[in-house]
Amino acid sequence: MTDILIDSCAGFLTGGLALSAAWGLFWLAISLVGLSRGTCGQRIIFMSFVGGSVPLALAIALVWWMGDLERMTAAFAAGLLGMPTVVAGFWLRRMPDGQRAGAHLAAGVRHLMGDLLGMHQGCEGCHDRQDDRTCR
């Protein structure tokens, strides 16, 4: 019984670390595009790299601690799916304004991506180097 609890908790933790690593690597890709456009600084790239690589290293260490694939049981797999289920539940939660939390998160991600990539707000997605009169 203790082994099942340990395996499911380790799976839950690994699932959370994998989600965190994916989120950090997503922002690393966005910030690298921003660097190539000249709209994003190197500090943001470093922080995105750290935000993706540290949880990834911790997840790899946890899987190594589990003993590779030998101890990865059905309890570990169920725990692994636990954190994405929790995040999906939060995504579907209603906010005080009536919208779902996922819609607020997506709007925030679009806004931050626009800032990092140098998108203009008035025109539908051109960047700073484009000389368009509708963007001014």
pTM equals 0.76
Average pLDDT over residues 9-34: 91
The whole-angstrom separation of Cα 8 and Cα 10 is 5
Q: How confident is the model at residue 19 (pLDDT cuts 50, 70, 90)?
A: very high
Chain mean pLDDT for the chain: 83
Q: What Rg value do the Cα atoms of the chain yield, rounded?
A: 20
* Burial state string for 16-42 with b = 16 or more CB within 10 A and e = fewer than 16: bbbbbbeebbebbebbeebeeeebbee
Give the bridge partners for 94, in sequence order: 100
Please give the residue that has the higher pLDDT: either 70 or 129.
70
Residue 49: the pLDDT is: 95
* CA gap 97, 100 in Å, rounded: 9
38-47: Cβ within 8 A, 24+ apart? 38/118, 38/128, 39/116, 39/117, 39/118, 39/127, 39/128, 40/116, 40/117, 44/116
What pLDDT, on the 0 to 100 scale, is given for residue 77?
86
Tens-place pLDDT, residues 38-50: 888 899 899 999 9
pLDDT of residue 62: 87
| Residue-range domain boundaries for the chain | 2-135
- The predicted model gives 13-37 an average pLDDT of 91
pLDDT tens for each residue of 67-100:
766 667 888 888 889 988 998 998 899 989 988 9
Listed in sequence order, the residues at least 6 apart from 10 whose beta carbon sits closer than 8 Å to its beta carbon are 62, 65, 66, 76, 79
**Is the pLDDT reported for residue 22 higher than 80?**
yes
Chain-centre distance for alpha carbon 56: 12
